[in-house]
């Protein structure tokens, strides 16, 4: 199997980027997309050329670090999957693929396909936590949580912070990410004391980081590898409005 690749190359944040063309051959349909990039990099290294920089960690669809767009689609053509879960059987032999980093003002390119997503960290640091006194761990059933509430919290907590929602949004909005993080803590009893303060601080941090506004296009929901529902944005907006009213 052979693929023609148009890959974004950029030496640093300050450098101008460009697309460069590579031919990847000797592939098999059961290779993952990242394994294909490994093959290309192995050849480039042997030829004395600079390998393509791309981020990865678990390669199991857990960490979300394999953040790149394939033919304009964040994480590629497969629904509910990260880039590392995309296999070459999803493409035609001889197909030309365009591979580029996330395109968002808040995610500047560090090198090639690697972007700086530390803006997400600043949002979590602003309020994505529960403040508790540490000590002996309580019994598991000390704080009863209803099954429905627990399932909703888990649904929101599935967000892995990959940034695909931002890359897909025409405004570069991080609303889906923030809504998921706000909601999963706000649903649980442990998160109630800081619920109002949390949503205010995280939304303020999102705005300060340079993310755009939500215009309800739902592209974020369509590309999310964990299929986080855009309904969480509505819940966060209600929490924010209630918090603002209380502050007044």
Q: Give pLDDT, residue 134.
A: 60
Could you tell me if 133 and 196 lie in one domain? yes
For range 88-110, the mean pLDDT: 97
For range 136-154, the mean pLDDT: 84
For residues 219 and 73, give the distance between their C-alpha atoms in angstroms, rounded to a whole number. 10
Whether 164 has a pLDDT exceeding 90, the answer reads yes
Could you tell me if 106 and 138 lie in one domain? no
User: Containing domain of residue 152, as a range?
Assistant: 118-247
Report the DSSP beta bridge partners of residue 109.
Answer: 115
For residues 164 and 117, give the distance between their C-alpha atoms in angstroms, rounded to a whole number. 11
Instruction: Using CB atoms within 10 Å of the CB of residue 16, give its burial: 0 to 12 exposed, 13 to 18 middle, 19+ buried.
Output: exposed
Tell me how many domains the chain contains: 2
Could you tell me if 102 and 123 lie in one domain? no
For 190, phi then psi, to 5°, come to -65, -25
Could you tell me if 237 and 142 lie in one domain? yes
Q: Give pLDDT, residue 27.
A: 97
Whether 91 has a pLDDT exceeding 90, the answer reads yes
pTM here is: 0.93
Whether 187 has a pLDDT exceeding 80, the answer reads yes
Query: Domain boundary residue among 60, 88, 111?
Result: 111
Could you tell me if 15 and 60 lie in one domain? yes
Alpha helices (H) along the chain:
33-46, 118-127, 147-157, 164-168, 175-186, 195-208, 219-223, 231-247
Query: Domain boundary residue among 111, 145, 171?
Result: 111
Q: Is 241 helix (H, G, I), strand (E, B) or coil?
A: helix
Q: Give pLDDT, residue 248.
A: 59
The residue written with tokens 């909703």 in the block is 152
Could you tell me if 166 and 215 lie in one domain? yes
């Amino acid at each position: 199997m052979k693929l023609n690749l148009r890959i974004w190359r950029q030496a640093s944040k300050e450098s101008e980027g460009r697309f460069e063309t590579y031919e990847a051959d000797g592939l098999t349909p059961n290779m993952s997309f990242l394994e294909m990039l490994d093959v290309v990099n192995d050849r480039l290294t042997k030829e004395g050329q600079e390998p393509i920089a791309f981020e990865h960690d678990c390669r199991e669809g857990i960490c979300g670090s394999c953040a790149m767009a394939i033919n304009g689609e964040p994480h590629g053509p497969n629904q509910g999957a990260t880039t590392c879960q995309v296999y070459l059987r999803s493409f035609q032999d001889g197909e030309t693929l365009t591979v580029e980093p996330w395109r968002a003002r808040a995610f500047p390119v560090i090198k090639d396909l690697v972007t700086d997503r530390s803006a997400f960290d600043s949002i979590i640091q602003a309020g994505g936590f529960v403040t508790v006194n540490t000590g002996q761990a309580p019994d598991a059933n000390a704080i009863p949580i209803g099954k429905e509430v627990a399932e909703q919290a888990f649904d929101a907590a599935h967000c892995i912070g990959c940034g695909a929602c931002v890359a897909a949004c025409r405004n570069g909005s991080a609303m889906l990410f923030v809504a998921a993080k706000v909601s999963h803590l706000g649903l649980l009893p442990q998160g109630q004391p800081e619920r109002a303060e949390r949503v205010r601080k995280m939304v303020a941090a999102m705005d300060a980081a340079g993310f755009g506004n939500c215009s309800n296009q739902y592209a974020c929901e369509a590309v999310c590898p964990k299929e986080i529902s855009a309904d969480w944005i509505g819940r966060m907006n209600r929490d924010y409005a209630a918090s603002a009213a209380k502050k007044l």
